[in-house]
Amino acid sequence: AQTVTQSQPEMSVQEAETVTLSCTYDTSESDYYLFWYKQPPSRQMILVIRQEAYKQQNATENRFSVNFQKAAKSFSLKISDSQLGDAAMYFCAYRRWNNNDMRFGAGTRLTVKP
Amino acid sequence: GAGVSQSPSNKVTEKGKDVELRCDPISGHTALYWYRQSLGQGLEFLIYFQGNSAPDKSGLPSDRFSAERTGGSVSTLTIQRTQQEDSAVYLCASSYLGLADITDTQYFGPGTRLTVL
């Protein structure tokens, strides 16, 4: 079974600084997808960034980037120039390439201090 | 255009009662997903609908849980004889194609918070 582990229940960062959220996963598959979702207090899950396992290049979306280490089964999210609006729960998720069942980690609550 | 909507936003019920949770997906989206988010936990997959195909019910935790999707659009998640451990936020998501493709992004609704007393 695939499992996703987020070892940091809570993180905090000063506004304008950089923070990295950790995620590891367990799988025997070679083809899969990884995601980071943001869940603000409104509860609406928002896709932040995604990565195909077959791509070695790390995905980047504006201030958000990932460090994908396939051999280590690690998928961390880096948020640069943190903003107050980045405060939320962040969930790491895994999905097999031919399966719509997404597996989520338990989440990391990010606080941004002004 | 409108996003995924869910109703009610909050539901409080007594143990043993049945509840129905509704999800309106984005118009034109063929795939619909239900997830459960317990307090302090990630999302747990419940069920998946794709077009007219038989739903993937592999995530339903017990036979008290069922879901249907009428006309390939609106979906209702029904929990019979609710138990206190059913208390959670129930999230619905939809996607355009439902294919095993990274471009098939799931868009989430705001969820229904269910509290079973």
Q: For chain A (length 114 residues), average pLDDT per consecutive 10?
A: 87 97 94 92 89 89 95 97 96 83 90 96
pLDDT of B2:
77
A43 vs B48: CB contact, 8 Å cut-off?
A: no
**Amino acid (one-letter) located at B49:** F
Question: pLDDT-derived band of residue B102, with 50, 70 and 90 as boundaries?
Answer: low
C-alpha–C-alpha distance, residues B47 and B23, integer Å: 13
pLDDT computed for residue A71 by the predictor = 94
- Chain B CA closest to residue A10: B40
- Res B99: pLDDT: 60
Closest among B39, B31, B5 to B114, alpha carbons compared: B39
Question: Which residues on chain B are in Cβ contact (under 8 Å) with A2?
Answer: none
Q: Residue B89: its pLDDT value, please?
A: 95
Task: State the pLDDT at residue B5.
Answer: 95
Rounded Cα–Cα distance for residues A75 and A20 (Å)? 10
